Structure 1
Amino acid sequence: MNEEHATGREQPWDEGTPGVLRLPSGRLVRGRGLRRPLDPSARTPTYGVYLLGAPPPPTPWASHWLRWPDFRLPADREAAHAALTGAWARAATERVELACAGGRGRTGTALACLAVLDGVPAHEAVAYVRTHYDRHAVETPWQRRYVRRFPPSR
């Protein structure tokens, strides 16, 4: 039995792991493009939210599919808010990853929404993610607008 399971606590992401974003609260969340294979030596998520137009392949960890077509916005905004709020809450104690095919547009948008939930003003969240995750994150004007209008809580 590894140490994580023996103590009942999950070890957090390593901050130096590619794609890991530190939110102002200290929560660590990994963004990733599913087209890139996982590093077999890296820790796996304990929970993933997959932002895709079609169902993702199965994973050995708990996951949630959020229907979100490429270069677009989530198909169901209420479901998106609930999924992202849940991911943000879980990131306090679990290794959460958000991923789309490329890891920039939808993933960046979702990470920016998590930043809003974490206290970053909505009008600064895209810049925060571009500075700390990927300078090309949040690819379309409507994705930027979605973040600016994302409610910090309901």
Structure 2
Amino acid sequence: MTEPWNADTPKVITLPSGRRVRGRGLRYDLPEGQTPTLAVYLIGHQPPALSWESLWIPWRDFWLPADSMDAMRKLRVAYDRAMEERLEICCGGGIGRTGTALSALCVFEGMNPKEAVKWVRRNYHSRAVEVPWQRRFIRQVFTTGATGQEQS
């Protein structure tokens, strides 16, 4: 098991389950201190190789993931691993796409989509989930459960 994120690390939020996740904007310098053991990059181009493991979800700024089902599966993998690893989720500015992904993690925690967005805006960034179609993606996560199949 990896040492978890320090609770006072900037941009680290603690989900109700106790999982700690750091959101970050790639336009800014890597914060000093702990580094992630797993990062999820929500960007339009392949991220560079780094010293930690990463998952790439092709996702252009202000849009949706190129493949919603693949995005949900990767976010679920990251969520499952976040209990024992230092998970970082990041996009260009660290607000819209990152907030949307953090909201998806909250749905995995059992929150409904509206509650998830409110929680992320209250605990991470007040402008997280910037556009209506990002809220629609969170509803899709809720209805599919990240399995790629509609729940009955």
* Fold equivalence (TM over 0.5): yes
Name the counterpart of 1:111.
102
Name the counterpart of 2:116.
125
Name the counterpart of 1:49.
40
Name the counterpart of 1:78.
69
State the distance in 1 between where 2:115 and 2:127 align.
Answer: 15
Which amino acid in the other structure matches residue 64 of structure 2?
L
Consecutive unaligned residues of structure 1, counting only runs of 5 or more, are 1-8
Consecutive unaligned residues of structure 2, counting only runs of 5 or more, are 148-152
Does residue 17 in structure 1 map to residue 9 in structure 2? yes
Name the counterpart of 1:139.
130
Classify the secondary structure of the residue corresponding to 1:150. helix
Displacement of 1:119 in angstroms is 1.4
Aligned positions, number? 145
Name the counterpart of 1:36.
28
Percent of aligned positions with the same letter in both sequences?
50
> Does the CA-based 8 Å contact 1:24-1:119 persist in structure 2?
no
Q: What is the aligned counterpart of 2:19 among 6, 12, 27?
A: 27
Classify the secondary structure of the residue corresponding to 2:22. strand
User: TM-score, normalised on structure 1?
Assistant: 0.90
Deviations 1:76-132 (A, max 9, x none): 011101100000000010000000010000000000000100112222111010000
Name the counterpart of 1:88.
79
Which amino acid in the other structure matches residue 69 of structure 1?
R
User: TM-score, normalised on structure 2?
Assistant: 0.91
Which amino acid in the other structure matches residue 111 of structure 1?
L
Does residue 97 in structure 1 map to residue 105 in structure 2? no
